[in-house]
A and B are shown apart, each in its own frame.
Chain A
Amino acid sequence: MKPTIWFLVLALISLASAFEVSPANPSPGEEIFIEGTADPNEEVNLRSGFQMDLPVAGGKYEYETRVEIPQKPNRFTVTAQNVKDLNAGVKMVIWITKRFEASGGVATISQANVPPGRYSLKMSGEALPGASVVPVKVIAETAVKADSSGRYSLAIDTSGIPAGDYSIEGDGDSKTVRIGVPAKEKKDASMESEGSQNSKDLQDSKDSPAKAPEKESVASPKGTAKDETVSDSSEKSSENKGFIGGVMELIWGR
């Protein structure tokens, strides 16, 4: 096969797995839209995340936020470093808290298939002696099914994601958007398309950690499938029994 043909094949493969993200530099609270193409009816796994540094005061750290969980399948992982423990609380009618002990200064919570809805969350705990900040990494994974023509889309609510880099990976592609960059910087900032070799950004990146935002933040993708909706967990309805059950599973495990 001639080199030209090889190039075309590779280009087509690249096109088939690429996705675009807009806007490149959203303001906090602005929605990010991901649009891409894959094989018809293919399920595309997408992984997004951010880091932030929580200040340590009196040996303790604390963070409060609100998150919106997209439809299943999903997985959320929160990792805190420089800590002795991590207390994660979810408010669903009442506060339900679960404590995780750290191993080697790292505490991790990971849960799949969290029921969709909007949650109030609190994280708190004791930092390791001498630690001034607690780096926290939040990763959200979900899957989007492409339609019959191979197109898929995903909307991410950034209203609570702290200012800084927000990475998105999927299907061999990786992009980083910068949230909350001032208008002047926005002009120069550009969305990076770094290819799959940069996917380690979500695994161990330590550059540009965001500062912890003020209370009332939301940090997760939503409405990933075109015909899916996100339920409102604040209502006490029978439909929410599944939601509550899922939250209980999230907190208590199976």
Chain B
Amino acid sequence: MTPSPSDPSRASVTLSKGLAIGYQSILATVTEDIPLKNGTHYLLARNGRGKTTLLKTLAGLLRQRSGQYTTHGHCQFIGDEFYFDRELKSKAIFKALIPEPHREGALQLAEQLELDIDKEFGKLSFGNRKKVGLVIAEFRILKDHSNLVFYDEPFTGLDSPAREAITDQWLSTSDHTLRIVSCHPDFDSMAMPSALLISDGEIFRGSDGNLTWADFKKRLS
């Protein structure tokens, strides 16, 4: 099914069976058709299995080794290394990158995340630097369009309250945004209603439903 471009609620990603990702050689291959729709989908795998490669491929930054995939929506890829000039304050970064109508919301989220927007980027802690990227991505989402946001390990360095604030923010825009979030959860009870797994060179979908990290981690090798 190809969503209509005029339908803002239909962000979608479809990984077709046989899609292979990698650089010089194939890292992993999709073993079944995986259609994804609005909402948050976690991408789980051990180090070096192809999480970043898959996200970059879907974002159009890397060419797939073989096979097909389709995406529909305004795309953003926020890599695990996403940083700004040391002397730039978060407030100035938001002003440069976030459209004026969305800026107030961004400042509110920053306050909720306890991000000091008057502090130079270089003086922020690792976790707080991550928050800057998250706030930018969330408030560069286009309101009247379908959106795709690919996050590469956005939770690294974030404390629990910040994670909760971010996941709440995701819920509030999930009606027109599809997110694929790679992460290494550090607590078993982290809810994962939808997850993609990469293990043994295969990309497949974990079951949908009320599952947690504990249910998935034993399936990764």
Q: Do A and B come from one complex?
A: no
- Which residues of B are in contact with A by a Cβ distance under 8 Å? none
- Which residues of A are in contact with B by a Cβ distance under 8 Å? none
